A and B are shown apart, each in its own frame.
Chain A
Amino acid sequence: SQQGEEDPQALSIQEGENATMNCSYKTSINNLQWYRQNSGRGLVHLILIRSNEREKHSGRLRVTLDTSKKSSSLLITASRAADTASYFCATLLIQGAQKLVFGQGTRLTINP
């Protein structure tokens, strides 16, 4: 089963509103990363947050990490039509092969 589970699977909001996506994982991680994918294209890295960090910001993006709950959230403020995409969280596990394990993603639609 997937290490990362995103919630919700799909989200539709109006332009200008904030969008929040959540990611839960099962085993201890080294770091957690968020990526964006537009319509079956390549992924674009958004933010990397390490296990000893609790919050990171990048422009309109805010990521939090709660290792006690094994969860992370991605907040996009003042959404724009161009934010329409799928968003994936990916975890780097502490143990085992050094590989990113991706969740199934959240499909975000911003309505004008």
Chain B
Amino acid sequence: KAGVTQTPRYLIKTRGQQVTLSCSPISGHRSVSWYQQTPGQGLQFLFEYFSETQRNKGNFPGRFSGRQFSNSRSEMNVSTLELGDSALYLCASSFFGTGDNEQFFGPGTRLTVL
């Protein structure tokens, strides 16, 4: 069974630009969660999508948004990038949803904002 894939793996953007990250979950998983990891703040929950609906949301500004498609693939968008958005963005998939069972993580997308 193929694991969680994330594209692109690395990305360099400049302040003010926007970026879209993609996550393909394990086949059959309907839940996709997104996390931001930085040295200062650690791993922080962004949001979770389940069957195309945002089910949970973390404490991030509206510049961070996401969506999920009917095939469970998910995209995350960050608009008006700031230097502080530089981070490793991880997505995780599971069958039932966030927290109540094992989350399978992708390798992450390393975003650098210059």
Docked-complex contact B102 and A41, CB < 8 angstroms: no
**Which single residue of chain B is at the shortest CB-CB distance from A40?**
B88
Docked-complex contact B97 and A44, CB < 8 angstroms: no
Alpha-carbon distance between A103 and B43 when the two chains are bound, in angstroms: 8
A31 interfacial contact with B, CB 8 Å: yes
**A29-68 CB contacts (< 8 Å) to partner B:** 30-31, 33, 35, 40-45, 48
Interface size on B, residues (CB 8 A): 28
Q: Is the interface of A mostly helix, strand, loop or mixed?
A: strand
Docked-complex contact B107 and A42, CB < 8 angstroms: yes
Which of B44, B58, B90 lies in contact with A42, CB distance below 8 A? Answer: B90
A99 interfacial contact with B, CB 8 Å: yes
Q: Cβ of B48: which chain A residues have Cβ within 8 Å of it?
A: 98-99
Alpha-carbon distance between A30 and B98 when the two chains are bound, in angstroms: 12
Q: For the side of the interface on A, what is the size category?
A: 20 to 34
Q: Is the interface of B mostly helix, strand, loop or mixed?
A: strand
Q: Cβ of A100: which chain B residues have Cβ within 8 Å of it?
A: 33, 45, 98-99, 103
Q: Cβ of B63: which chain A residues have Cβ within 8 Å of it?
A: none
Docked-complex contact B99 and A88, CB < 8 angstroms: no
- Known A-B contacts A104-B42, A105-B42; A45 and B108 likewise in contact (beta carbons under 8 Å): no
CB A8 to nearest CB in B, in angstroms, measures 16
Docked-complex contact A98 and B55, CB < 8 angstroms: yes
**Which single residue of chain B is at the shortest CB-CB distance from A105?**
B42
Alpha-carbon distance between A31 and B4 when the two chains are bound, in angstroms: 23
A2 interfacial contact with B, CB 8 Å: yes
B binding-site residues for A, Cβ under 8 Å: 4, 33, 35, 42-45, 48, 55-58, 88, 90, 92, 97-108, 110
